[in-house]
Amino acid sequence: MTLQPAPPDTGIVFRRSGSAVEIRANWANMIESPLCTVISNGEGNTVGTIEHLMAAFAGAAIDNAIIELDGREVPIMDGSSAPFLFLIECAGIVEQDAPRRAIKILRQVSVAEDGAAAMLLPDHGFSMSFEIDFDNPMIRRQDICLMFDSETFKTELCRARTFGLLDELDRLWAAGLARGGSLENAVVVGRDHVLNAGGLRFADEFVRHKLLDAFGDLYLAGGPMLGSFCGVRSGHAHTRRLLAALFADREAWCYTTLGRGSYRGGGELERELQLAGD
C-alpha cells in the first residue's frame, strides 16, 4: 500500500494499482460485511478493512489522500491504527490553502437493531462514548467516553487493537473469515486469559478498539464532525446505517467550516509511505 498526497476537495480515494479502478471512501459506498468496513464502486470492485486507516486519517486531520493498493484489503499491521499514524507523521503533514469542511449535527439521529444502538447528537465539539457487553469473563461490560482534542486519538485510541475470542476461531475459519489473524495482529482472548505475551495495552482495550472502529467509520461521512456519537454494542453495520439515516434527514445536519489552515493533505506526503503487509 502506498499513500500519496492529493489536492483540496479530493477526499480519501482508494485506487487499485495498475488499473483505473477508484473507490471514494464515502458512507454511500459502504457495503455489508461481517467483520470489517468494506467499500465498493458498485461494479464488483471492493476494498476492505479500511476502518483503522480511516481512523488514522481522521486522527491526523487528513482530508485528501490517494491510497494505492495491489490487493483488495488494507494491510492489518498490528490490528490498530498506531502504525499508520506513526508513518504518516514520519512523512510529514502540511496545511492546504483552503477551509476545512465539517459536518455539524443539528438534531438527534439514531438507529437500533438486535440489541445494539448508535446515535448522533448535537454538540459544540466532538465526543464519543461506547459500551460493550460480552459473555467472556475477560471482557464483560466496558464503557468509555472521550472528548476529542488534537491529541486524544494519539494518546487514547490509536494503539487499541482488534480482538477475537479463542472459542470462535474455528467457526470464523470455517466461514473463510479471519484467516490472516494471529497474535501479531489481534488480541486473542480465552476464557480466563489473554493469549498475547505482552498482555493488553489498556485495561479497557476492548471497548477502546470498538470506539476506534466507529471513529474510522464516521470519517466516511466525508469529513470531521461537530457532534456527539454514542454506540451501545454496535458495529460497522450500525454506523453505516446511522450515516445513511443522518444524510437522509436534511434537517439533521449542515456543512460548516473549521477555518483556513486546518485542511490537511499533500505536501511532504510526496515521500510515499510504503506499508508492507500480508
Cα 274 to Cα 24: distance, rounded to the nearest angstrom? 21
**Which of 124, 193, 209, 236 is an active site residue?**
236
> What phi and psi, each to the nearest 5 degrees, are found at residue 64?
-130, 120
Q: How many residues does the chain have?
A: 278
Is 52 in the active site?
no
Cell of 272: 510515499
Cα 201 to Cα 145: distance, rounded to the nearest angstrom? 18
Nearest Cα to Cα of residue 269 among 4, 2, 54, 84: 4
Nearest Cα to Cα of residue 12 among 21, 3, 20: 3
Cα 187 to Cα 202: distance, rounded to the nearest angstrom? 12
State the Rg of the chain over Cα.
18
Cell of 100: 476545512
> What phi and psi, each to the nearest 5 degrees, are found at residue 138?
-80, -15
For cell 482495550, what's the residue?
Answer: 205
Please list the active-site residues.
Answer: 236
